[in-house]
Structure 1
C-alpha cells in the first residue's frame, strides 16, 4: 500500500513526542462567523489521509461483519457520525440560488446576491422605506439581520458541506446512494442551466440605500464568500476516487468549465482585483480560493508565483514575532478574526505542499519551512490567550474557533502538540466533528 511510508514516518514522530499537561479548551459557545450561516470553515483536508482512513474502516468492517447486531461496526465513532450526516443529507432537498425573494440588479436570479452584513440605515434617517431611501453607515461586527433574508450564501454552504460529506460516505462505505445524492446536488447547483449559480459574485455584499456609500453592485469584501466553493472541488475529487457510478466524465468536465469561468472572473473583474489588493484575511482567502480553483482546472501558471509572493510580501505583515495578527486584532471581534485568518494560512501552507492522489502538487516543497515559525507563533498566541497567559482580547473567546488551525499545525509538527492539545469533540456544527477522517490514524489518540 503506497501510504505505508506516511504511516511509518508519523509513527516514528509520535514515538518521540514529549509529554505535557493537556490544554483544556473552554466549552463556551462558538462565536458565530458574522457573514456565515454555519460557521463554514476552509479546513485543510488531505485526500490521501481520507483514502487511508476509508481503507481502515473497510478492513475493520470486513473483519467484524455480522457481529454488530444491525449496528454499524466502526473502529472510531467518527464513522458513525459520517454515516448519520450522510443519511441526513440524502433526505435533503436540492439547493439552488434561483429561489431568492429579490432580484439582483442584473434581473437574473442565477446571479449571486448578498447584502453587506455590517451596514445599517443611518439612525438619523426618517424615511418610511429605510432600505431604499436612507443613507447606510457601517457598524463593524454588528450584523444587520436583513442579510438572513437572502439564502444564496446559506445554500452554497449547504451544498459545500453536504456534497463533501456524501462523497466521503460514498468512498468510506462504498454506497452508491451517497454518490448519487452528491451528484444530484452538484448538478443542480452548478450544471443545470435553469438552476445553476452563474460563475461570478458580481452582487456580493452590496450596500443598499441612497447615500454615497450605496453600491447596488458587489464589493470586494463579498468575494470572501467564495471560500465555500472549495469544498465542491474536493467533493468532485472524492467522487472520482470512490469511482461513484452516478458521477460521469462529463460532470467533471462541466464542473471544470464552471470553475474556469469563475477563475477568469477572479482574475479579471474589478472587484475581484480590488480584493486581491487587500492585506488581511480577505487576501488570504482570495489567494486560497484562486489557487485551489487553478489546481482543479489545470491552470498552474499563477499558483506558485502568487503563493510565493504572499509568503514573501504579505505574511510578514500579517503575523508579528510574538504571534499577534495586527490586521485582525484591530477588528471588533479580534480573536474571531485572528482564528479566521489563521485557518486560511494553515490551509494555504498545506495546499501548496500537498501530496494527494489527484493533485498536481507539491507546488512549494518547503512551504512549511517558510511559514512554520510565524504560523506556530500565531497558534501559540491564541492558545495562550485562552489559557490566560496572554491578555484576553475578546470576551468569551475559546479554542473552538481555532481548533482547525491547531490540529492542522499539530499534524505538521506533532512533537509540539500531540498529547498537549485536545481537539474539540463537540462542535456545535456537526460537520466539524468529522476531523478524524482527515487526520492520520496514528494521531487520533494525540488529539482525543
Structure 2
C-alpha cells in the first residue's frame, strides 16, 4: 500500500467528499467488515496546506445596503426573485428555479468558505496531529462566532429577503446548512483536547442560542413546518447543533420531525411529490435525500435508529431506491431536465455513502464510487454542504 493512501473497510463509517476523498482516523487501516475503498491522505494535507495562509472572512467583511439588519446580522436574498421588467424599481417577482445572479451572496459565500476551510484544516490536524492546522481552524471559528468585532449574531432575521416584500423569511434558515459540518470540526477539536475552556464554551453557547432560536422564533417555526427540503434540512441542522451543545431535548425534536416529515413527504413509490413538481426535480429530490441522510446520521441514537424507522409508506431506504436508477443512469430520468445545472449532477455525496453504510449495501457503495465529487458551480456547491470525509469517519 502506498504511503499516501489509506485503505478503509466500510460498514459503519460516515464519510463525505469536498474536493478530495476520505481517510481513516489513524495512519493504518480501519478494519470494519464489508466494503473496501481507497482515500488519498496526501491530497487532504495538501488542501489544508493551501489554506494555511487564508485569513478569516467573517460576515462583517461585506455589507449590503438592502439589508435591514446591522453588520453582525447575516443577510441573503431569495434565489429565485428578480426585478419586475414592468416595474424595475418595484417589488421583485419570482422565477422558480432560476437564480438571480445580482443577488447579494457575500454572507452565504463566507459561510461556505468557513465550512470548507475549517473542515479541511481539522481533517489535516486529525490525520497528522500537527497543531498548526488546528490553530488556523480556530482562528476562523473565533472570527466568525466569538470575536465581538466580527462575530455573526446567532439568528437569521434577515435571510432570504425579497426587495419590496420582506426583510427576511423563515426559509432563510436553509442558508446555515453549511454550519452542520463546522460543528463536526468543533467536536473533533474538543475531543482531541485542543479546543477547550472559554473558546469551546463560547462556541457551544453560540450554537445553543441559534438552535434555541430555530425552535422558538416564528421564522424558525415557519421553516420547521414549511414542507419539502426546507423542513428536512431544518431538522438536520437542529440535530447537528443539539448534538454539539448537548441539548438532548432539541435532538429529540429532530427525531420526531424526521418521522413527521417522512410520513408527509414520501409517496408510496418512494418519490417526494413536492420536489418532483419543481422546475428542478432531479436536483431537489437528491437534495432532500441528502438532508434525510444527514438527519438520520445525526439524530439517531442507540435506542432510536432512524435509518430503520418505518413510516406509513416505508423507510427512507425506499426513497433512495426510487432515485438510485436515475443516479446510476440519468438518461432514464422520468421528468424533464432541470431548468438549470442538470448536466452537473449527480455528484458523489455524503448522503449516498451514509445510506450504503447504514444498509450495508455494496451495490449502493459501488454507485457512489463511480460518481465524480467535483462541484462545477456555486449552485451545486451550496446544495451539498458536507465536504470533508475525515470528520465523519473519526466521530463514529
Coarse TM-score class (shorter-chain normalised): 0.7 to 0.9
Structure 1: tracts of 5 or more residues without a match: 1-6, 12-42, 60-74, 354-360, 441-448
**Which aligned pairs between 1:244-323 and structure 2 lie closer than 5 A?**
244=194, 247-311=195-259, 313-323=260-270
CA distance in 2, matches of 1:185, 1:153: 15
CA distance in 2, matches of 1:58, 1:112: 42
Contact in 1 for aligned 2:60/2:71 (Cα 8 Å): yes
Secondary structure in structure 2 of the residue aligned to 1:171: helix
Match of 1:120 in 2: 82
Contact in 1 for aligned 2:326/2:333 (Cα 8 Å): yes
TM normalised by structure 2 equals 0.82
Secondary structure in structure 2 of the residue aligned to 1:114: strand
Secondary structure in structure 1 of the residue aligned to 2:249: coil
- Is 1:379 aligned with 2:320? yes
Q: 1:172 to 1:180 in 2, by over 3 A?
A: same
Contact in 2 for aligned 1:339/1:402 (Cα 8 Å): no
CA distance in 2, matches of 1:404, 1:328: 20
Q: Equivalent of 2:373, from 416, 421, 427?
A: 427
Secondary structure in structure 2 of the residue aligned to 1:56: coil
- Is 1:341 aligned with 2:288? yes
Give the number of the structure whose alpha-carbon radius of gyration is greater: 1
CA distance in 1, matches of 2:278, 2:207: 32
Match of 2:379 in 1: none
TM normalised by structure 1 equals 0.73
Q: 1:339 to 1:229 in 2, by over 3 A?
A: same
- Is 1:202 aligned with 2:157? yes
CA distance in 1, matches of 2:169, 2:144: 23
Match of 1:394 in 2: 337
- Is 1:368 aligned with 2:287? no
Deviations 1:293-323, CA, capped at 9 Å, x for gaps: 1222222123224422431x32122222222
Match of 1:143 in 2: 99
- Is 1:232 aligned with 2:182? yes
- How far did 1:102 drift? 1.9
Match of 1:56 in 2: 27
Secondary structure in structure 1 of the residue aligned to 2:175: helix
- Is 1:165 aligned with 2:120? yes
Secondary structure in structure 2 of the residue aligned to 1:204: strand
330-339 vs 271-280, which deviates more? 271-280
- How far did 1:182 drift? 0.4
Deviations 1:381-435, CA, capped at 9 Å, x for gaps: 2222242555254254576346432211111122352564242564224997854
Contact in 1 for aligned 2:115/2:182 (Cα 8 Å): yes
Secondary structure in structure 2 of the residue aligned to 1:205: strand
How many residue pairs match? The answer is 362
- How far did 1:44 drift? 6.6
Q: 1:397 to 1:328 in 2, by over 3 A?
A: farther
Structure 2: tracts of 5 or more residues without a match: 1-7, 31-36, 377-384
CA distance in 1, matches of 2:149, 2:387: 35
CA distance in 1, matches of 2:373, 2:11: 26
Q: Equivalent of 1:109, from 68, 71, 83?
A: 71
- How far did 1:85 drift? 1.2
Match of 2:357 in 1: 411
CA distance in 1, matches of 2:365, 2:215: 43
Secondary structure in structure 2 of the residue aligned to 1:268: coil
92-101 vs 396-405, which deviates more? 396-405
CA distance in 2, matches of 1:101, 1:331: 32
Q: 1:399 to 1:384 in 2, by over 3 A?
A: farther
RMSD: 3.2
